[in-house]
């Protein structure tokens, strides 16, 4: 019994030791020690490293619960590296290193990034340093994203687009690249709630709601860019005809006469027999102007339809 207990202890100790080494991973921990940021500058040029203004060099250890701060907060202990001047003995964040995330997350997990592990980016093994340049190599907004999402960026070049290339917004106006929400959108609720943050007038409440608007803006709109006007997925009337039938008289021939008497008043009929087609099969919103909802039922145009001829 005694013997078994002892070997169990050894096994546990060995597992713990392996775990400890595995956590440290890259940097040798045995006989290593922290030497402080000043020591690094003996051999590395402070200005070249572009860290003077970096927030990480201003952190005090009490702010991060006693974790190491300064250069070694990210690069790990530097004593062995200093003694040997060997780049193998320090964390370099070389491409493909699997520790980069855990190093950053050691400080950032709870405070900034509680959902990171469940995000698509984490699941797809996108690293912090794919988007965040340290050492003065700050990425401009959007640039980090477009390296991998060229197609999304390209959509903003289409004729109708959210004003991203005009500099009025960027990818993170709508996306939080650390979050676990649908499409990493900055909303926990419906997709439309994101849109309402900037387009409040579309939220209503309206007496006559248009059901697809309540359901999902993307039934009619595409968020990045579109060849159709107003970021629509298709131009009118095609858009509307995906769900609605033509007005029953849209297929009828109208009178050949260029003048018509309606309600006792002589009126022009400039399009003659094509009048119905021209009136009803161009822009449905000429008449149904409040497409996102209104307080009056399906409106007609004012002024006896004169708006249609303009």
Q: Which of these ranges, 4-12, 23-31, 122-130, 261-269, lies near ligand HEC under the rule CB under 6 A?
A: 122-130
Residue from 32, 121, 179, 293 touching ligand HEC (CB under 6 A): that is 121
* Geometric angle at alpha carbon 122, from 92 and 102, rounded to 5°: 40
For residue 276, give every residue at least 6 positions away whose Cβ sits within 8 Å of its Cβ, in sequence order, or none. 249, 250, 251, 252, 253, 254
Q: Which is nearer to ligand HEC, 18 or 241 (CB)?
A: 241
- Residues 81-120 vs ligand HEC: string with x where CB under 6 A? xx--x-x--x-xx-------x-xxxxxx--xxx--x---x
Residues 128-187, interacting with ligand HEC (CB under 6 A):
128-135, 137, 142, 144-149, 152-153, 160, 162-164, 168-169, 171-175, 177-178, 183-185
The Cα diameter of the chain in Å comes to 113
> Which member of 55, 261, 264, 310 binds ligand HEC (CB under 6 A)?
55
Find the helix or strand (DSSP H, E) in which 261 lies: strand 259-262
Q: What angle do CA 11, 17, 23 make, to 5 degrees?
A: 135
Cα 142 to Cα 177: distance, rounded to the nearest angstrom: 11
Please, which residues have CB within 8 angstroms of residue 221's CB and are 6 or more apart in sequence?
230, 231, 232, 233
Residue 29 touches ligand HEC, criterion: CB under 6 A: no
51 binds ligand HEC (CB under 6 A): yes
| Closest approach of ligand HEC to the CB of residue 297, in Å | 5
Q: Which is nearer to ligand HEC, 38 or 259 (CB)?
A: 38
Q: Is 27 in the site for ligand HEC (CB under 6 A)?
A: no
Is there a contact between 21 and 29 (Cβ–Cβ < 8 Å)?
yes
Only one of the segments 1-9, 18-26, 253-261, 282-290 lies at the binding site for ligand HEC (rule: CB under 6 A); that segment is: 282-290
Q: Least Å distance between CB 15 and ligand HEC? A: 26
Structural element, H or E, at residue 82: helix 79-84
Taking a C-beta distance cutoff of 8 angstroms, is the pair 262, 304 a contact?
Answer: yes
Q: Which is nearer to ligand HEC, 10 or 157 (CB)?
A: 157
Pattern 208-247, binding to ligand HEC, x per CB under 6 A?
A: x-xxxx---xxxxx-xx-----xxx---xx-xxxxxx-xx
Please say which residue, 172 or 269, places its beta carbon nearer to ligand HEC: 172
Pairing of β 225-226 and β 160-161: antiparallel
């Amino acid at each position: 019994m005694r013997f078994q207990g002892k070997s169990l202890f050894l096994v546990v100790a060995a597992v713990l030791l392996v775990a400890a080494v595995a956590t440290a991973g890259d940097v040798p921990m045995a006989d290593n020690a922290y030497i402080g940021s000043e020591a690094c500058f003996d051999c590395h040029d402070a200005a070249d490293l572009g860290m003077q203004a970096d927030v990480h060099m201003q952190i005090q250890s009490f702010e991060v619960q006693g974790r190491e701060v300064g250069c070694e907060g990210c690069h790990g202990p530097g004593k062995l590296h200093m003694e040997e001047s060997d780049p193998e003995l320090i964390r370099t964040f070389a491409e493909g290193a699997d520790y980069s995330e855990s190093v950053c997350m050691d400080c950032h997990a709870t405070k900034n990034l509680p959902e990171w592990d469940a995000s698509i980016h984490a699941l797809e093994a996108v690293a912090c340093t794919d988007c965040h340049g340290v050492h003065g190599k700050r990425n401009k907004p959007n640039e980090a994203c477009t390296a991998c999402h060229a197609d999304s960026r390209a959509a903003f070049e289409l004729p109708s687009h959210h004003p991203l290339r005009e500099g009025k917004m960027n990818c993170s106006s709508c996306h939080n690249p650390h979050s676990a929400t649908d499409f990493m959108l900055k909303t926990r609720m419906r997709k439309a709630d994101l849109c309402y943050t900037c387009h409040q007038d579309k939220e209503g409440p309206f007496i006559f709601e248009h059901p697809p608007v309540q359901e999902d803006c993307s039934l009619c709109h595409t968020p990045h860019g579109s060849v159709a006007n107003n970021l629509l997925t298709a131009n009118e009337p095609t858009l509307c005809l995906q769900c609605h039938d033509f007005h029953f008289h849209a297929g009828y021939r109208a009178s050949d006469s260029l003048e018509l008497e309606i309600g006792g008043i002589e009126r022009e009929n400039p399009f003659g027999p094509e009048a119905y087609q021209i009136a009803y099969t161009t822009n449905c919103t000429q008449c149904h102007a409040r497409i996102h909802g209104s307080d009056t039922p399906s409106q007609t145009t004012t002024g006896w339809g004169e708006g249609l001829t303009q």
